[in-house]
Amino acid sequence: MPIILFVMLKKMSKKISVGFVNTQKTAGRSSKIPVVLRLQNRSKLPVANMIIEIEYYNTLDGDKNTMKINTPLYPDDVQYLTLHVSAKHYGTVRMNIKRCRIVDMLKLFKIRVSTDAASRLFGESTFTIVPDYIPIENNIANYAEMGLETDDYSKTSKGDDPSEIFDIHEYHDGDKINRIHWKLTAKQDKTMVKDYSLPISNSIVLMADLHLDTNTDDYMLVYDTLVEAIASISYYLIENDTPHKVVWYDKKKDNSEVVNVTDEESARLLISLLLQASVYDEPDLSMINYINEPERYKCGHL
């Protein structure tokens, strides 16, 4: 009987595949992230118990943990298992299938499932924990914008720059006579007035210093606070039509990484790149490298 069970188990191990369905996701720190495993048994026999070992870790600290899942497999069937996971800290979390073994009905043997090409392709799942945005209500007084030449104009507010037209509307009491659009007025037989655009200059630089003392117990909390602050301030500036740059030191490239944030799409790109950046032990590298750059970005606020 044991010999028969072993032979059956050995044959079944070659007809089982395991992989992640959703290989990449983005979520907030407080949310439960559904991670789906696809299990396929192509044999005509059931598996009494399958042990799946999943290894997971945050790429920032590399502290690896392992979870075990026990499940039966039905014959000639595909099953889906959903795991709801969460993370304590921001960053990229990787999960990979470390090992899969099947056990016979009498629990005499454990045989490792052979890894095929499909299992290798879908054997890893990555999800990024993005920062929460802290609501900010401070006024933005960007004095450095006065008198600066720029080719960027506000998409939401009108101003006094006659070189760019923001909007055209019908004349209302209080509109200036010198802003009447005479050609359009003649065509439409009603008085039309031009609104000029508001020039906006990119004169703010936010600098992220990714120096962390990894010997302390709370360095991950410091990292969370830094990323959350940069994300919140950057998003608030974009909400108020204030383009800016975010700078940090990239240790791998040994130079400054600069992201020009002008809208929500570039703000999301900023967070993605910032979460991929590695931390370092030496303090003030962001500022030192920025000062030593041959072509620094001129700014009014740092």
Using one digit for the tens of pLDDT, what is the confidence trace for 61-80?
A: 778 889 999 999 999 999 99
Least trusted range by pLDDT, from 13-22, 155-164, 241-250: 155-164
Question: Roughly what angle, to the nearest 10 degrees, separates helices 264-276 and 219-239?
Answer: 170
pLDDT at site 225: 92
What structural domains does the chain harbor? Answer: 2-130 (2.60.40.2550), 153-199 (no CATH), 205-292 (no CATH)
Closest CA to 28 of 217, 222, 227: 227
Confidence label for 195 from pLDDT (cuts 50, 70 and 90) = confident
* pTM (predicted TM-score): 0.67
pLDDT classification of 233: cutoffs 50, 70, 90: very high
Question: Taking 60 as the threshold, does the pLDDT of residue 58 lie above it?
Answer: yes
Closest CA to 87 of 59, 68, 106, 51: 59
pLDDT in tens, 81-113: 998 888 888 988 889 988 899 888 888 888 888
Average model confidence (pLDDT) across the chain: 81
Q: What is the pLDDT of residues 258-276, one digit of tens each?
A: 898 988 899 989 998 898 8
Q: How confident is the model at residue 128, as a pLDDT?
A: 87
Give pLDDT, residue 147.
52
Confidence at residue 117, expressed as pLDDT on a 0 to 100 scale: 46
Q: Considering the chain, what percentage of its residues have pLDDT values greater than 70?
A: 85
More confident residue, 255 or 57: 57
Q: Please state, in angstroms and rounded to a whole number, the distance separating the CA atoms of residues 189 and 183.
A: 10
